[in-house]
Structure 1
Amino acid sequence: MFLLRVSLLAALGLSAGSVFGAIELHSFDDPVLQQRYESLTSSMRCPKCENQAIDDSNSPVAKDMRERVASLLRDDRSDIEIQNFMVDRFGDYVLYNPRLEGRTYLLWGLPAGLVLLGAMLVFLILHLRRQSSAKSLSAEERARLNALIEGKKPK
């Protein structure tokens, strides 16, 4: 019985290893091309898989995209040309970092705008609190406070 369990676990381990090892790696003689390939494939999203880079996906579409990137690199295409090719073929979704264009200004500007709006809101709230606390003091209390601030002994 023990031997059956061990052989079953070994068979499962081998089959899982073959599933995870299905991603082929393209290798280049030039280390710069290899680095560019790795950078490009990790910065592009698989259209079939949800939020998975093409260098990490087992889907046939990702395999085709990896092969196309390798072939374009071998044809001495620039990174921008390769990205443009992929965007033309699969759409803007393929890029993890969308380009700064007219239709993506809101996407890029919204976080900065929200931070500025939050800072202005905090400043306004603090300003209004200071004004309201200063207005709630009587003339005698205000004079005493000013004397304490200036370092004089209050009357």
Structure 2
Amino acid sequence: MFKAALASMLFCLASAVLPLAQADIKSYEFAEPEMAQRFVDLTTVLRCPKCQNQNLADSDSIIAKDLRAQVQKLINTGQTDRQITEFMVQRYGEFILYDPPFNKATMVLWLMPFGMVLIGLWALWFFGRKTHNQGAMLTPSEQQQLDQLLADNQPPSRD
């Protein structure tokens, strides 16, 4: 009963918020529907400089609104997606891209997951291998002394 009520509340909340997010994008005017789709695509791959974990489409910050207006202006002036992203990178750095290119500055970012996997595999191998501790071999005289000590410590039998 509780799960059904919670699910219906979440559905109502999502259906109320989703049109608000789309309304902001629909408020930008474009001559062709293709341009509007390009706007949506670009604003979802560009990161908000203030929010850091949100793209331009999802962010409500003032700078995100300014950047959405800038993207709209650049699309309406006939610039390609590549030109627009290069403009944004020149102005805000590669941080603005959610999918940064592979270069010297981002090499650690791209190679770190592979390095962590290799370190994990090495740790599993290193700590997972069995160490074979073989006892030292006794000389015949040491073996005789050991047998004598064991025989001396045997309790007498009750026959």
Same fold (TM over 0.5): yes
Q: What secondary structure is seen at the aligned counterpart in 1 of 2:106? A: helix
Q: What secondary structure is seen at the aligned counterpart in 2 of 1:89? A: helix
The residue number in structure 2 matching 1:104 is: 106
Query: C-alpha distance in 2, partners of 1:70/1:30?
Result: 12
After superposition, the C-alpha distances for 1:36-93 in whole angstroms (9 at most, x for unaligned) are: 2111101212223342221122333212211211222233322221111111112222
Matches within 5 A, 1:106-121: 106-121=108-123
Asked if structure 2 preserves the Cα contact closer than 8 Å seen for 1:23 and 1:57, the reply is no
| Structure 2 unaligned regions, length at least 5 | 1-16, 137-159
Asked if structure 1 preserves the Cα contact closer than 8 Å seen for 2:25 and 2:40, the reply is no
Matches within 5 A, 1:37-116: 37-116=39-118
TM superposition score normalised by structure 2: 0.60
Q: Size of the alignment, in residue pairs?
A: 117
Q: Percent identity?
A: 35
| Structure 1 unaligned regions, length at least 5 | 1-16, 139-155
Would the alpha carbon gap of residues 57 and 126 (structure 1) be closer, same or farther in structure 2, given more than 3 Å must change? closer
Asked if structure 2 preserves the Cα contact closer than 8 Å seen for 1:44 and 1:53, the reply is yes
Query: C-alpha distance in 2, partners of 1:24/1:33?
Result: 12
Bigger Rg over Cα: 2
The residue number in structure 2 matching 1:151 is: none
Structure richer in helix, relative to its length: 1
Query: C-alpha distance in 1, partners of 2:114/2:106?
Result: 14
Asked if structure 2 preserves the Cα contact closer than 8 Å seen for 1:69 and 1:82, the reply is yes
Would the alpha carbon gap of residues 122 and 73 (structure 1) be closer, same or farther in structure 2, given more than 3 Å must change? same
Query: C-alpha distance in 1, partners of 2:94/2:120?
Result: 30
The residue number in structure 2 matching 1:23 is: 24
TM superposition score normalised by structure 1: 0.61
After superposition, the C-alpha distances for 1:1-23 in whole angstroms (9 at most, x for unaligned) are: xxxxxxxxxxxxxxxx9xx6783
Query: C-alpha distance in 2, partners of 1:121/1:83?
Result: 41
CA RMSD of aligned residues (A): 2.9
